[in-house]
Structure 1
Amino acid sequence: MKKQSGGRALSRILWELSQDAQRERIAISDLLVALGDRATGALMFLFAFPNVLPTPPGTSSILGAPLIFLSAQLMLNQAPWLPAFVANRSMARADFSLLVKRIVPWLQRAESLLRPRLSSLALPPMEYFVGFVSLLLSVLLVLPIPLGNVLPALAISLMALGVLERDGVWVLAGLAMTVVAGSVVYGVLFAMLKAGLYFFTQIL
C-alpha cells in the first residue's frame, strides 16, 4: 500500500480507525486528530467522495457544509479547524466501518497512481487557488440542483488528493473536471429556468 508523503497511507489510517474496537462512535474531531497536519486535504476528500457514489437524497447538503469550511481554510492557508457543531458530529463505528469499506477500495486505487510530480501546481500559491475553486464547488454541492453533486464532488476529490500527495497532474485533472461540472450545472440550471418560465407563461 502506497504511503502518503510524510506518513501512512490515508486508506490505512481510515481502516485502522474503523477497526478500533475501543471506540463506540467516530466523530469528525477524531478524524482531525488522526489525520494531523494533512487533515485539510484528507477531510476534503472524505466529505466530497461519498457524493460521487450512490447515496440517499440530501447527503450532499450534509457533507457540503464541512467542505465549505475546509475549502475556505485551504484558500486562506489556515490550519484545519471545524466549529464544534460540525466537529462533534459522530456516527456509530459500525456505520463508519461500512462507509470506509466503500471508500477504501477506490482510495487504494488512487494511492497506487498518486506521486509527487508537477508539485508547483499542488503547492502555494496554487494550493490557495484550489481552495477557492473547491469553495465554489462546495456551494454547488449544498444547493438542491438535480445531478448537481456528482461532478463537483469528483472535481474536489481529485484536487484534494492532488494537494495531499503534491501531485499536480491530479490537480489539473480536478480543474478540468471543474470546467465540465460547471458546464453541466449551468445547463441544468438553464433548463430549470426555461421550464419554470414556460410553466409560468402557461398559467397566466
Structure 2
Amino acid sequence: MTEPETEVPPRRLSDIVNSLDTQQDLTIGTLVDAFGERAFGALMFVFAVPNIVPTPPGTSAVLGLPLVILTFQLMIGRQALWLPEAIRRRSIKASMVASFATRAVPVMARFEKILKPRLSLFVNSDPAERLIGIIAFLLAVVLFLPIPFLNILPAAAIACMALGLAERDGLAVLAGYAVAAGCAVLMMAISTALVAAARTFFNVLLGG
C-alpha cells in the first residue's frame, strides 16, 4: 500500500527574494519569473512597502505606476501577469535589490510566520481576486497622485492584501480591507475640510 503524497508547501516569498543575486543588476522579467504564479501578490508587496515609510518627494508616483498596472490586470481577471517586453528588460540596480532584501525581507519573513491559508472565501475565487484588484487599483491611483503624506495608509492596505493574495490568507486580505476603509474615511474627512476651508475663504473674499 502506497502512502498518499503530501502536498509540498510553496516557497516563502522571503526565501525567493533571498535567493536572488544581489551582486548584479536584475531585470524586471527575471523578478516576475522568480515569483511565478504568485507574481501579482509578491510584486504588489514589493512596490507598496517602500511607500509605508517616509520617502523622498516623488517616490510614491514612481512606485505607484507599476502598482496601477498590476492591480488593473488583477481587477480585470487576468490569471497571469503580462508586461511589455520593453518593461521586462528594464534593469533594477543591484544596490536597490540589495537594499530591499536587507530592509523589507525581514519584515516579510515576520509576517509569513503568522500567514497561512484560511478564510478562502475572501481570496480563493475569481470574484474574490477581482474585488482585491478593484480596491487595490483605487488605492494605487491614490498612491500615484502627488498628494503629500497620504501614501502610508494606501500602501499599507495594498501590502496587507498583497501578502494575503500571495499566501492565500483571507484574514490578511480582510485586514487590508479595514485599512483601506480607514484610508477612505481619512480622505473624505480631508476633502470635507478642504471644501469647508474653500467656502470660508471665498465668503471672506466676497464679503459674504
TM-score by length of 1: 0.88
SS at match of 2:92: strand
Alpha-carbon distance, 1:82 to partner? 2.3
Greater CA drift, 153-162 or 79-88: 79-88
1:76 counterpart residue number: 76
RMSD value over aligned CA atoms?
Answer: 1.9
- Aligned partner of 2:170: which letter? G
Q: Distance in 1 between matches of 2:123 and 2:135?
A: 13
Deviations 1:35-73 (A, max 9, x none): 111101110111111111221111111111111111111
1:30 counterpart residue number: 30
Note closer, same or farther for the CA distance 1:155–1:203 as it changes in structure 2 (3 Å cut): same
Q: Distance in 1 between matches of 2:28 and 2:62?
A: 13
SS at match of 2:143: helix
1:13 counterpart residue number: 16
SS at match of 2:19: helix
Instruction: State yes or no: 1:151 paired with 2:147.
Output: no
Number of residues of Structure 1 aligned to a counterpart in Structure 2:
197
Q: Which runs of 5+ in 2 are unaligned?
A: 1-7
Alpha-carbon distance, 1:83 to partner? 3.1
Instruction: State yes or no: 1:59 paired with 2:62.
Output: no
- Aligned partner of 1:65: which letter? L
Report the identity percentage.
44
2:3 counterpart residue number: none
Larger radius of gyration: 2
Alpha-carbon distance, 1:134 to partner? 0.5
Q: Distance in 2 between matches of 1:193 and 1:9?
A: 46
Alpha-carbon distance, 1:152 to partner? 0.7
Q: Distance in 2 between matches of 1:158 and 1:13?
A: 19
Greater CA drift, 91-100 or 115-124: 91-100
